[in-house]
Structure 1
């Protein structure tokens, strides 16, 4: 019985650390004081890029910092989203967790954005919370 309770406690603890995709309609918007790009206003013929941080506990005590073309664009808590209107063409998106000791690396992905199109990305943590990943996805409502 003791072993069963121990195994159950381990499973619950491990599940609590996992992140999971969050439906985009359930994500909260990032607070404006954590959005650092001034060009987030809609522009004619622009491309829309939406970034959603997974819900869950993994890395929950630290922001995930989003970078666009090498510049910090926003800092997201679990379950938050941020949207940017960008010029069409190639852009480099990056994500990295808060790291006061500067030991974590920036994960990047390149995307060729088309005018009047929408692009959606998940920001998620790897198993040990040392690295963020960006994954493109299609939301359920489209």
Structure 2
């Protein structure tokens, strides 16, 4: 019984996604990035990196900024957005057909950005298939 439990734990742990260093992530193709705000005096940048891994790998992770669809990311991809100073909401959810359209709620996080800031967020999926988005310090 202990062997079965250990095998199950290691199998499930192997299904979670793994963080990707922003320097190693691929830039998402332009046709899957839907915003084009230029950097200016009153903006900061937000880079979103999707983890690598099998869980949810056949689905796009859709990124939202202030409720608007901003990009679709495959595993190990990233994109950078220039946003105006102030408070914003960053969200992520699965997109696609079949299991990708399971109807799981979009996960959202509030963030504040100042002019010249560079913030990094990571989209990950746990072993239960739940997607989430959190700040990351992997870029530092």
TM-score, scaled relative to structure 1: 0.84
Could you tell me how far 1:17 is from its partner in structure 2? 2.2
- Cα-Cα RMSD: 2.3
- Give me the whole-angstrom Cα distance separating, in 2, the residues matched to 1:14 and 1:60: 15
Q: Which of 64, 73, 83 does residue 67 from structure 1 map onto?
A: 64
Matched, 1:137 2:109: no
Structure 2, unpaired ranges of 5+: none
Tell me by how many angstroms 1:14 deviates.
Answer: 3.7
Higher relative contact order (CA 8 A, sep 6+): 2
- The answer to whether the 8 A contact 2:65-2:89 is kept is yes
Normalising by structure 2, we get a TM-score of 0.85
**Contact 2:13 2:127 (C-alpha < 8 Å) held by counterparts:** no
Asked which structure has the greater CA Rg, the reply is 1
Q: Distance in 2 between matches of 1:30 and 1:96?
A: 16
Structure 2 match to 1:21: 19
Task: Output the CA distance in 1 between the equivalents of 2:83 and 2:102.
Answer: 29
Give structure 1 stretches of 5+ with no counterpart: 1-5
Structure 2 CA distance, aligned partners of 1:16 and 1:77?
19
